[in-house]
Every structure is written in C-alpha cells, then in structure tokens.
Structure 1
Amino acid sequence: MMKTNFSLLFYLKKQKNYISGNVPIYMRITVQGKRAEIATSRDCEPGRWNARAGRVIGSKEDVKMLNVYLDQLQNSVYLAHQAVVNSGLFITAEAIKNKYLGKADNAHTLIEAIKDHNEKMKSLVGKDYVQGTLNRYKVLEKHLLTFITSKYGVIDKDIRDIDQAFLNDFDYYLRSDKNCANNYVVKNIKNLGKILRLCLEKGWMEKDPFIAYKGKTKNVDRHYLNHEELSQIVAKRFISERLRQVRDVFIFCCFTGLAYVDVFKLKQSHIQKGNDGERWIFTNRQKTKTRSAIPLLPTAINIIDQYAENKVCINNGNLLPVPSNQKMNEYLKEIADLCGIEKKLTSHIARHTFATTVTLLNGVPIESVSKMLGHTNIRTTQHYAKILDIKVGVDMNKLRKKSFLNFS
C-alpha cells in the first residue's frame, strides 16, 4: 500500500474580530497537503494553549478532562484513517473526516462501476452482445486494477476523482508498462469512456473527463490471402478430419465474408432463394445487427452440400461443423504450416479475403461488397479498397488499351 502523508493537528481558531476570551478548538486533518477541519465543541483561553503539543496547559481536573477528551478525538481520527486505508479507496482528508463523522458516503468507485457494467453485459450475452465484447471489458477491468494499484497504491478509486490526468496516465501506462499498440490503447480508453458516461448519467460524477482527451486510431494493413494462397489451401488434402472440417469452414468464410460468430450460428433456415432464383444467405450480423444478404458462390454451395448429411450438424441444428473460436484458430495455425502459408490464418483474414481477392479484385462494386459484409458505413469497406494496388494496376491496364492521341 502506498504511504500517504497524513497528519492531525489541534489548534485554536480565532475569529477575525477576536479581542479576548476563550477560542474554539479545531482539528485539522491533512493528507498530501489538502486539509479538512472539524470543530471539537470545546474551547480554551489562548494563554493556556500549548500550540506545539496541541493541548491545554495545566494540572487542574477540568484541564486534564479536556486533554483526555482531545486524546479520544485523536484516537477516533486515527481509527477513521485506518478504516479508509482498509477500504482500499483513495485516501483524502475529506474521506477521513466523513468516516470520523459517520457520514453516509454515497461515493461510487471506478472498479465498482465497471463491475456493475460487466455483470449487466454478461446477462445480455447472446442477445445484445457477444462474449468477445464482454471479454474486452473484463480485460479493461484487469488493466485498471493493475494501473490503480501501481499508480496510487490502492485497489480502487473514487469515480469523482477520475479526471483528464487519470486518462493521460492510464494511456501512458498501457503504452509503456504494457507495451500496447496505439489502436489497442485507444480502444481501451474508448471503452472506459462508455463506463464514465454511464456514471455521468447516474449522477455519480459531475463532469466528463473526456472533453479534452484526444486519441486517434491509426490505419493498419488488413491482411488477406491472394489467389495463389487461397488455391493452396483449397487443393490441400488433409488426412485429419478435424483439419479438413476447419479448412472447409475457413474457405466457406473466404467465399461468404461471414465473421466467425456469424458462421457459428448459421443454420439451414438462413439459406433461401434470392430474387435471382439462386441460393443466398440471409442473416443479421451479430456485431452490428445489420442485415446481410449474400449470394452463394459455387465453392460455398459445394461445402454446404458436403455437410448436408453430417450427423453433428443435424444434431446441433447448424449448417456447418464449426468448433470453438479457440480450437478454430489453433487448427488454422496447423493448416497454415501444412500449406506453407506464412500469414496468420484467422476468421478475420477469411473475411478480408472475401472483400479483396474474391470480390473487389473481380470487379464487384464496393457498394455491393459493403452490403454483403454487413458494414454500417461504406467507409469501413473502403479500407479494403485502399490496399489493393493490384486492382489499380488492372484498372489502369484497361485504360492503356484504349485509343489516345499520340504526342510526339
């Protein structure tokens, strides 16, 4: 526990117009240079007061009783200080004063707020949220616990003490101590912002510390498989059934653009005839709740037909035998090694491959790609277009073949 510079002083508080007579005795609690005062309900003549000792001078019975009373007050303040220390909260002079006076402290704490948020989110997993979203807030909770303990020497912090300096320090902690990348840091601070806005709505804090905070995400390259790499995985023959099934699920995602959670919950009822008479996938994205309508390409249809009689799929009511996300990523690493693919295979890279190699590079308009991916904003889809230098080359090659005036 971090030590705090705590002190208690008894002193006489003279009024500005004081002339003579007894003066009220006050207690002054000081923590880290900040003070809180408490009246003792006792008084004393200034000439009989020992300022150094903070006690009354004399040996009469009434003087002894007054000094014993001050000793009792001192012990009570020390006990209040220890109670605040034991609570794990940030130690302030005001907190000690309130504990001593027995005032009901209606203050709330940051960890209390995030735990409350996470409990409520947990009950909505599968309805409004996915497990991955909850996991991110649980990680944020762990980061905050470690940060608060190392920075302030306590296990929690009054929500009213969260300010711009706290955000800046937490930002620096994630970058320096935890060696986190910029976008990860910004996302954690953004998630913390949601917690603090909820506290503002509840009246737990008075001002928004995010007014001056500036954190910007940086564009990162979205990796995808090119045609050659995709062909290598499709053509690979696997002895292991589990690797073969995971490969099929991965390829299905490459040709539909579905995220892991969306293909995991996909059922036969999601496959219906589209306006062209062909089979389509009609579903709502788990992440954004937006509707996705995806015409099925021959490769995806072949995979669906291959598992139409699969007992596991029939028993579970699923379209494909999709393992847990952890197992999926574990097996994809094996598949990458066996196929000689150096890129890290994930459900994200499958989605990116659909957006690039399968659609945009084959002339599918970006508006159509955006709709199939279930993006809420076409600017999200444009990130994929920016990395397609090869597409620019193909488009410009078409332009070269057209007739232009020759300049000599």
Structure 2
Amino acid sequence: MNELKVTFYLKKNEERTDGTIPILGRIRIGKSMVQFSTKVYVIPTLWDVKSGRAVGKSKPAATVNKELDRISLDIHSACKDLLAKKENVSALEVKNAFQGISSEQETLISLYEKCNDNFYKKVGINRKLATYKQYCVALNHLKDFLRQKYNVRDLPFQSLNPAFVSAYDLYLRSDLKIGRASVTRMMGYLHRVLKSAINNGHLRQDPFAGYTFDYVPIVPKFLSEKELKRMITTPLPKSNLNLVRDVFLFSAFTGISFSDLRNLTVKNLAQAEDGTWWIHSARQKTGTPFHVPLLELPLELIGKYRGIAKADRLFPMYSCSKTNIYLKKIAEICQIKRRVTFHQARHTYASVITLSQGVPLDTVRELMGHRDWRATRIYAHLTYDKVNEDMSKLQKRITDKFKLAEDEHAETVIRKEVKHAKRMKP
C-alpha cells in the first residue's frame, strides 16, 4: 500500500470574529486524496505553513498542536485497522473510518451507480438506452463537481444539505454552461437518487427542500395546416429530399415517432374485417402498445416504397441527425420560415390531423401510445382555426336562444344621453 500522509493548512478568507482561522486537514494515500474539517481554530500569526503546526510555546499554540497530533494519531490508527481487513484502502475510506462513518455505509456516488445499473436492466423492456446514457452523463458531471469543489471522489449522505444542491446547480449553469432544460433534467436525476436514499434510511432530510426546478415552458412545435400543405405540394429537386419528406409526412399522418417508424416492418401491418389497414406495434421508448388506422396518404406512401427497404421494413431511412439536416433544406425550399425537425411530425399529428379535426383527447392518447393522458397534452394543441370553427358552430347553435328583452324606456334614455353628450362637446 502507498504511504499515508496527513497534513494541515489554514482555510484562508474565513476569519472569525475572534480573529482565528479554521484549520483543514488533508489525507493522501497514493493518488487518492480527501479533505476534512478539524474543527480546530488558530490565530494566523501563530501558524507555520511549512510544518503545518502552530509555533511558539504559548498556551494557544500548545493547545492547537496537541489537538492536531491527536487527530493525526487517530487517522493513522483508523488506517491501520482498515488495512487489517483489506489490502488496499482509499483516503476516503480512512476519513470515513476516522469520522466514525462505516466503510460499508452507502454513499452518494455508490448509490447513484447502483440506481444507474438498475435502470440499465430495464433498457429494452420499458426504458430507453438513450435515457440511460443521459443518466451516465449526469453522473459523470456530479463526479467532476465533487473532485473540483470538494477534492473528493464520493460523499457520505450526512454531508448533503440544501447548500450542496444549490452549489451543484450553480456548477452546472455557470461552470459547464448547460442550458435550463438540461440542468432541470440532471437535477431531477440527482433528486431521484436522494429519494431512494431517504426511502432506504440512508438520509433523514431531503437536501432538495426549498429547491425550485426551473422548468422550461413547453412551446407548441406542430406545423400549421398551411405549412403542411406546402410541404406536401412543393416539388423537391433531389430523391433523398423526397424520401425524407415522405417519411416525415407518414409520421405526420400516423403520429409514429422516428425510432418506432424505423422499426416498422410488413409484419406490423394488418387489415381489419371492414377493410381498414392498421399498424400494430409498441413504443421503443416505453414498451406501450399502439394501434393506428392508416389514412389514405400513409397507405400511398407504403405502396410507393414497398420492397425497397431491407429486412421487409416499410421505409429506407437515414439517421435522425441526417434526416433533420435534410428537413432544414426542405423547409427552405417550401418557404417554411422556421426550424423544422422530425419530431414536429408527431406534434402535427396530435394537433392538426387529429385533435383539431374533432378526435377526442383519449382517442389521441391511444393512437400515440401514451400511458398517461398528461403526456398527450404536451403534444396536443388546438389551432386557432379549430377554435374559430368551434365558436362559429356554437354561435349557430345558440342563435335565437338567448336574446335581451326589449326595453323601450331604456332606448329613450340612451338617445337622450347621446344628445346631451353632443351638446357638451366644445
């Protein structure tokens, strides 16, 4: 094992009202290093940086040195006890043992890693690999934060408090320059881990108490009916653009996401007794089944690409990033003056193709494969045309049903008031 080194130094710019400064300790074993608070304070003029001790024979200096010697002896003793049980120990393990925290006790990073491992076991069942990767990225950011701000690789749950949560939030925003939505997502991941710690008895109070999640308002992303028609009817100069446009339109008229559409094969097609063709499949993201009846345009597109894609897939498709690059070019050609991405097709299906045409929200939820109607509300937005149409129908229904009673006296009073106002004009 590498040699154990214990050193002490002053925490500058932390002077107390009595003129003393706190002393911090550092444990180093090989490449592992951890800091800790000694809860010992000294007058700066008494401190010798080179020796890491107070100088002189005064009573304050002797008291400080005696306490630091005791701490150093306790740390070496804790390290010796650990080495009797295992061959190699880390600085964090020695610190935890010295402070009376069992090395077997759960810690922040170890529990986070266990939560990620449990999530990975669900990938392909009801969780997505891309989401698991996001959890791993968030964990790496947390590890970097602990190394940069605390010089440790892990923390016991007793060290976590609202100040830690605020510091991590600030680190993500100011140091890493991460956007609002991503910060909210990563803080949510950490909160789930800490909830697990609370449920398992590792943590008594929630460090997120008082923390406010900075949710980004959801903005409707669907194409308008005019934009959709323009995309359908505008001639495109290249075959690759036509393919991307056709796949986008298929999604816009079925609500099927990019990843689910890429997995569709001829086996997912079925014809009902009434002659209607359906697509039966399950969401790759959640495993939730969805069943979509095919309208005329999607049927034409299936026929157009029949037998072209490999492995009986319905469409030959580019990667999602490549598809979105081509969609940007298509939007320019179609004079759609805003950014268009493939996911907007799913929003368009929920808003323009279904909900705005009178399809109930519960039906839209089933068509889109959502387990919860609240997820459908994110996609489904009524267009102004639909609101105007519904209000026109309402006006026709209530015409002649609600009328003000005629009041000849009131009409006379109004005429008099108008004449009086005209006389008062300069």
Same fold (TM over 0.5): yes
Identify the residue that residue 164 of structure 1 maps to in structure 2: 162
CA 1:97–1:338: 2 relative to 1, 3 Å: closer
1:34 aligns with 2:39: yes
The answer to whether the 8 A contact 2:96-2:103 is kept is: no
Inter-partner Cα distance in structure 2 for 1:129 and 1:138 = 14
After TM superposition, the structure 1 = structure 2 runs for residues 8-407 of structure 1, keeping only pairs within 5 Å, are 31-32=36-37, 34=39, 52-53=61-62, 73=73, 76=76, 89=92, 96=95, 98=97, 105-122=103-120, 124-200=122-198, 204-205=202-203, 207-210=205-208, 213-215=211-213, 217-274=215-272, 276-310=274-308, 313=309, 315-386=310-381, 388-402=383-397, 403-404=399-400, 405-407=402-404
Q: Larger deviation: 259-268 or 387-396? A: 387-396
The answer to whether the 8 A contact 1:164-1:209 is kept is: yes
Q: Larger deviation: 363-372 or 208-217? A: 208-217
Paired letter, 2:221: H
Paired letter, 1:135: K
1:246-300 deviations in Å (ceiling 9; x for gaps): 2221111101111122112222221112464300111222233322121111111
State the number of aligned residues.
Answer: 349
Paired letter, 1:34: K
Inter-partner Cα distance in structure 2 for 1:3 and 1:146 = 24
Inter-partner Cα distance in structure 1 for 2:64 and 2:220 = 73
Inter-partner Cα distance in structure 1 for 2:10 and 2:396 = 77
CA 1:229–1:376: 2 relative to 1, 3 Å: same
Inter-partner Cα distance in structure 1 for 2:261 and 2:249 = 11
Inter-partner Cα distance in structure 2 for 1:88 and 1:237 = 67
1:193-235 deviations in Å (ceiling 9; x for gaps): 2223444566654554345544363542121101221122222
CA 1:393–1:160: 2 relative to 1, 3 Å: same
Inter-partner Cα distance in structure 2 for 1:352 and 1:383 = 9
Inter-partner Cα distance in structure 2 for 1:232 and 1:269 = 32
Identify the residue that residue 44 of structure 2 maps to in structure 1: none
Q: 3-state DSSP class of the match of 2:256?
A: coil
Identify the residue that residue 17 of structure 1 maps to in structure 2: none
The answer to whether the 8 A contact 1:221-1:387 is kept is: no
1:46-66 deviations in Å (ceiling 9; x for gaps): xxx98845799xxxxxxxxxx
Identify the residue that residue 6 of structure 1 maps to in structure 2: 24
CA 1:355–1:104: 2 relative to 1, 3 Å: closer
CA 1:73–1:355: 2 relative to 1, 3 Å: closer
Paired letter, 2:97: N
Inter-partner Cα distance in structure 2 for 1:217 and 1:145 = 24
CA RMSD, 1 decimal: 4.0
Alignment gaps of 5+ in structure 2:
1-8, 12-22, 27-34, 41-57, 84-88, 407-426
CA 1:159–1:342: 2 relative to 1, 3 Å: farther
CA 1:126–1:241: 2 relative to 1, 3 Å: farther
1:174-194 deviations in Å (ceiling 9; x for gaps): 344445554433322222222
Inter-partner Cα distance in structure 2 for 1:127 and 1:397 = 47
Identify the residue that residue 61 of structure 1 maps to in structure 2: none
Per the normalisation by structure 1, the TM-score is 0.71
Per the normalisation by structure 2, the TM-score is 0.68
The answer to whether the 8 A contact 1:274-1:295 is kept is: no
Inter-partner Cα distance in structure 2 for 1:54 and 1:373 = 72
Q: 3-state DSSP class of the match of 1:361?
A: helix
Q: 3-state DSSP class of the match of 1:340?
A: coil
Inter-partner Cα distance in structure 2 for 1:100 and 1:339 = 68
CA 1:74–1:147: 2 relative to 1, 3 Å: closer
Inter-partner Cα distance in structure 1 for 2:382 and 2:257 = 20
